Copies of this chain bind each other. A is one copy, B any other.
Amino acid sequence: MVWDAWGIPAGHKPLSAQIRGLLTQVFGVSGDPVARRDEGEVPLRESALTPDRRDGLVEVVGADNVSADHRDRLRHAGGKSTPDLLRRRADGPQDAPDAIVFPADHRQVLAVLAYCAEHAVAVVPFGGGTSVVGGVDPVRGRFDAVIAVDLRRLDGVSEVDPISGMVTLGAGLTGPRAEELLRAQGLSLGHFPQSFEFATIGGFAATRSSGQASAGYGRFDDMVQRLKIATPTGTLELGRPPASAAGPDLRELFVGSEGALGVITEVTVRVHPVPETIAYQGWSFPDFETGAAALRSVVQAGAAPTVLRLSDEAETGINLARAGDIGGNPVSGCLAITTFEGTEAHVAARSAEAGALLAAAGGTALGETPAEEWEHGRFGAPYMRDALLDVGVLCETLETATTWANLAGLKAKVTAALTDSLAGQGTPPLVMCHISHTYPTGASLYFTIVAKQLDDPIAQWHTAKQAVGDAIVAGGGTITHHHAVGTDHRPWLPAEIGELGVRVLRAVKAELDPAGILNPGKLVP
């Protein structure tokens, strides 16, 4: 990925005339992008890794696999939240890890951690670098130096078991590479979060990622059957497929551990055959509450499609679910997307059952096109955000989840907190929302917020984020449904797990990482 924006250069496209017109009309910005700095000219904080520490790490992984190169450091300088990207676009020196280490395998990760624990070097485990919560910030904590441990060389597939539908994947495999290797065996993982193109298997596990096909294939936590974890104290191998009653499920302590309790090096996941067929169907609902009740009826009946999404009126009106048509003719009501994957027989049975429920709940079938268009553009939104940031428009997303009974109330509270905070700063926002993940007991809410940037857009967003975080927790939502805690959500973790829960986390960390080198400043309050 490029250092100061999402994705690859080819993904970045100028805004369409339609969108520029919309921005001028709504926010009074011209739509002309500002220039960004050349990577080579960006001043970086000097590396604090002493030559002897560097030599020590070289001894573990080899000289080719320790880098303090300007470009390497810049590309491991953090994640891709809007504040991250605004910080990179700002003048002045950038923070970055003092070196990057590229271990070859689990054994080398263990050795790197042992070395760093002994020599007081902080470690940031690094996968795809797609965190939007400050999860890979180069925080030194109380240590003199911090290194990023980039897991890209842990990129193997092993123990392929098509009978049980299980494979073991190296933590450093990206989404597309994992799918490519699996497809060669007729298998698929089916995990497609928006970060899919860049994020890694280890990252998915470390952050409790959830993909767009979660209604069909589950969250990534559901897929994880077994984990191999390197800690400063040794190796953990957890999870006994398919299920066990042998005490607490310790695997669930490390799914979502965000590099603070250990480094996930291998993940054994549930996979399925590449689907025989995929059916697409868009739906229209008169309003969000009707649509949400329809989604609920399908999920609670055990008839969930593979993908099941619902955009609210604002998101539907601006065509955000159909990236190619943003700013085009406004669409009324609320758009829902369904896809069905599997055998011909399964897709036929399931789409008939789900379709009947959606229709009975007030939905109007729109045919295949809206769902196909959504799938075509589904990884594109982060690129759009960069284009908006470049023209002086603030754009960020956040997500939560709550029970079905509390969904409309929480949506209203979150929208009000965002609107009040940003309007109070003189920049009334557009707030759009969709449901992208559904469960028998509730659903996620994913918000996209667009407003005119102030002179200090980082402070502008920080104010709004504080307000909305408090509103989410007070409103019975979770501070994050699938983006993890990192640094940004840490203040709200005690509200999720209580002070005693925090003590439990700290006790586990103290046992495994007594020196406290693992990902300082993340997750654990």
Contact = CB atoms under 8 A, between A and B. Distances in A.
Interface of A: 161, 163-166, 207-210, 216, 219, 221, 225, 231, 233-238, 240-258, 261, 270, 272, 296, 300-303, 342-343, 345-346, 349-350, 352-353, 356, 401-406, 437, 439-444, 478-485, 489, 492-493, 496-498, 500-501, 503-505, 507-508, 510-512, 523
A208 B343 CA distance: 33
B164 A207 contact: no
A248 B32 CA distance: 44
B301 A245 contact: no
A507 B233 CA distance: 13
Contacts of A240: 401, 478, 496
A245 B349 CA distance: 32
Contacts of A403: 161, 163-164, 166, 241-242
Nearest to A218: B440
A250 B502 CA distance: 10
A478 B244 CA distance: 6
Nearest to A220: B245
B405 A237 contact: no
22 contacts: A164-B441, A164-B442, A208-B244, A216-B302, A225-B441, A236-B497, A236-B500, A237-B498, A238-B497, A238-B501, A241-B442, A243-B437, A245-B484, A247-B258, A247-B497, A250-B497, A252-B253, A270-B440, A302-B350, A349-B349, A349-B352, A504-B512
A244 B481 contact: yes
Nearest to A503: B511
Contacts of A480: 244-246
B164 A245 contact: no
Copies per complex of this chain: 2
A241 B500 CA distance: 19
A500 B353 contact: no
Given A403-B166, A405-B163, A500-B234, A483 B353 contact: no
Given A243-B439, A246-B493, A248-B261, A501 B236 contact: yes
B500 A233 contact: yes
Nearest to A357: B345
A252 B243 contact: no
A134 to B, nearest CB: 14
Q: Which of A161, A440, A479, A501 has the most CB of B within 10 A?
A: A440
Contacts of A235: 498, 500
Given A233-B500, A236-B497, A246-B492, 8 more contacts: A210-B243, A216-B302, A225-B441, A243-B444, A244-B401, A245-B485, A246-B493, A247-B505
A37 B389 CA distance: 82
B245 A405 contact: no
Contacts of A256: 245-249
Chain A at the B interface: SS class: mixed
Contacts of A440: 165, 242, 270, 272
A398 to B, nearest CB: 12
Contacts of A272: 300, 440
A290 B165 CA distance: 18
Given A241-B442, A349-B349, A249 B247 contact: no
Given A208-B244, A242-B442, A246-B485, A161 B257 contact: no
Given A236-B501, A346-B302, A511-B503, A441 B241 contact: yes
A247 B504 CA distance: 12
A508 to B, nearest CB: 6
Contact of A252 (B207, B248, B258): B248
A163 B295 CA distance: 12
Nearest to A482: B245
Contact of A164 (B302, B343, B404): B404
B481 A166 contact: no
A207 B497 contact: no
A485 B244 CA distance: 10
A439 to B, nearest CB: 4
Contacts of A441: 164-166, 225, 241-242, 270
